[in-house]
């Protein structure tokens, strides 16, 4: 296999990553025991301290950023602030001619009171635990790949930034602006979400938006003055039926009403009902079509006497459509995989991540460079431990070849 040009032999650097395998597995178990669910601010603070310590060997500039809270609709229909943990930003050699943005999230979907708190081995190569794949394991892959880069005499050719955000699992509402801003200063992005267990990467991604219909009617006694009331649950039910019927009109659109809230007692006509729903769109055209259809529904239902509806939310993650530069980046990674004896494949997915945000800012990126694993967002989440060194070598080789000038984006649209 070819691991470098005549002037640059990368084999010793990749061998060093093999030597870090056991340490990565040991560290991910330690990190997995720290509950860092998106809403667990204390746990996020603990995890942030661990990440700052882990960044120290890279010897760059580390800053922490407080994020503005997002606004959500509470069960009573009022708007409330949702606080986040801190964003960690790392910068190394900003003056270098080549620049990469690397991103990872340190929050998980498991709240502080989750029953799923402790990692355990299922077999010799399968570790089950919160965040072991998504994506504390991926962060370790990133950091070790960068340490290998720093051992190379080519390291000075590349400057890089790292963003560790605490809110990816709920949509990166607080960190989205920072992701978009730093994307403007990089040549390409690397995000360390887990690959599938067989190593397949995510290619094109659907965009995603979380929305809510806040429907209001008029309360009344269900027996004595039923006809004076305006039943918000009946109202929202009709609205949701019309919403759901939009499925199938556009090929890439899926609409999932996920949560309905409303009512207080069986003898009271409910004056408030809320439907929370998610929309996925494969293209920007589909996203704009969906936004227009939602506006039409709101206008239609606001004409009903005694009722009103307010739409909240947006497409916080636009679709990730593969550009020419993105495809070139995948082909370069595929060539790196070939050098390592790995087959690199990718396919479209309905899921989304911070790779969507980077693509929307114009930055070509690969967003599943983390460990191989699966069953994420469940208590069956697992990582295949032999993928730690494997995936670290893959990312390190991509950066080393970029530093050596073996590929660039200057001749692509």
Using only C-alpha atoms, the chain has a radius of gyration, in whole angstroms, of 24
| Closest listed residue to residue 19, CA positions, set 129, 160, 148 | 148
pLDDT at position 409, please?
66
pLDDT at position 408, please?
80
pLDDT at position 9, please?
75
Phi, psi (rounded to 5 degrees) for 64: -110, 140
* Secondary structure in 3-state letters for 246-277: CECCECCCEEEEEEEEECCCCCEECCEEEEEE
Token code pair at residue 349? 């997915």
pLDDT at position 1, please?
43
Q: Which helix (H) or strand (E) holds 43?
A: helix 41-55
Complete domains list, the chain, with CATH? 11-204+321-403 (3.40.630.10), 207-317 (3.30.70.360)
Torsion of CA 143, 144, 150, 155, to 10 degrees: -70
pLDDT at position 221, please?
97
Do 84 and 48 touch, CB atoms closer than 8 A? no
Token code pair at residue 132? 């072991």
Query: Would the CA dihedral through 167, 391, 89, 320 be positive or negative?
Result: negative
pLDDT in tens, the chain (413 residues): 455 544 467 999 999 999 999 999 999 999 999 999 999 999 999 999 999 999 999 999 999 999 999 999 999 999 999 999 999 999 999 999 999 999 999 999 999 999 999 999 999 999 999 999 999 999 999 999 999 999 999 999 999 999 999 999 999 999 999 999 999 999 999 999 999 999 999 999 999 999 999 999 999 999 999 999 999 999 999 999 999 999 999 999 999 999 999 999 999 999 999 999 999 999 999 999 999 999 999 999 999 999 999 999 999 999 999 989 999 999 999 999 999 999 999 999 999 999 999 999 999 999 999 999 999 999 999 999 999 999 999 999 999 999 999 988 665 54
């Amino acid at each position: 296999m070819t691991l470098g040009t005549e002037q640059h032999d990368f084999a010793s650097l990749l061998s060093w990553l093999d030597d870090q395998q056991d340490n990565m597995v040991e560290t991910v178990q330690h990190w997995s025991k720290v509950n860092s669910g998106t809403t667990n601010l204390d746990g996020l603070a603990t995890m942030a301290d661990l990440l700052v310590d882990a960044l120290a060997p890279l010897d760059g500039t580390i800053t922490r950023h407080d994020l503005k809270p997002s606004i959500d609709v509470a069960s009573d229909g009022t708007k409330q602030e949702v606080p986040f943990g801190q964003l960690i930003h790392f910068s190394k050699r900003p003056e270098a001619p080549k620049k990469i943005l690397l991103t990872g999230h340190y929050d998980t979907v498991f709240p502080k009171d989750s029953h799923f708190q402790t990692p355990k081995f299922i077999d010799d190569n399968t570790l089950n635990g919160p965040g072991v794949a998504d994506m504390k394991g991926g962060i370790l892959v990133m950091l070790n790949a960068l340490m290998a880069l720093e051992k190379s005499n080519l390291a000075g050719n590349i400057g890089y930034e790292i963003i560790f955000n605490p809110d990816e699992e709920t949509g990166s509402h607080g960190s989205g602006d920072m992701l978009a801003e730093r994307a403007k200063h990089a040549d390409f992005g690397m995000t360390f979400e887990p690959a599938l267990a067989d190593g397949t990467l995510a290619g094109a991604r659907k965009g995603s938006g979380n929305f809510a219909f806040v429907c209001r009617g008029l309360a009344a006694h269900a027996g004595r003055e039923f006809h004076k009331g305006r039943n918000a649950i009946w109202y929202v039910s009709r609205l949701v039926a019309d919403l759901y019927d939009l499925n199938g009109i556009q090929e890439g659109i899926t609409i999932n009403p996920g949560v309905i809230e409303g009512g207080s007692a069986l003898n009271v006509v409910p004056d408030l009902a809320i439907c929370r729903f998610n929309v996925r769109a494969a293209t920007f055209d589909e996203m704009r079509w969906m936004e227009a259809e939602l506006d039409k529904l709101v206008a239609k239902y606001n004409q009903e006497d005694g009722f009103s509806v307010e739409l909240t939310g947006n497409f916080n993650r636009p679709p990730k459509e593969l550009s020419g530069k993105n495809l070139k980046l995948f082909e370069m990674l595929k060539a790196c995989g070939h050098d390592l004896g790995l087959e690199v494949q990718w396919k479209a997915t309905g899921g989304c991540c911070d790779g969507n945000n980077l693509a929307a800012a114009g930055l070509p990126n690969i967003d599943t460079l983390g460990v191989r694993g699966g069953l994420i967002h469940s208590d069956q989440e697992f990582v295949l431990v032999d993928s730690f060194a494997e995936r670290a070598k893959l990312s390190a080789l991509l950066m080393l070849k970029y530093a050596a000038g073996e590929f660039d984006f200057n001749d692509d649209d």
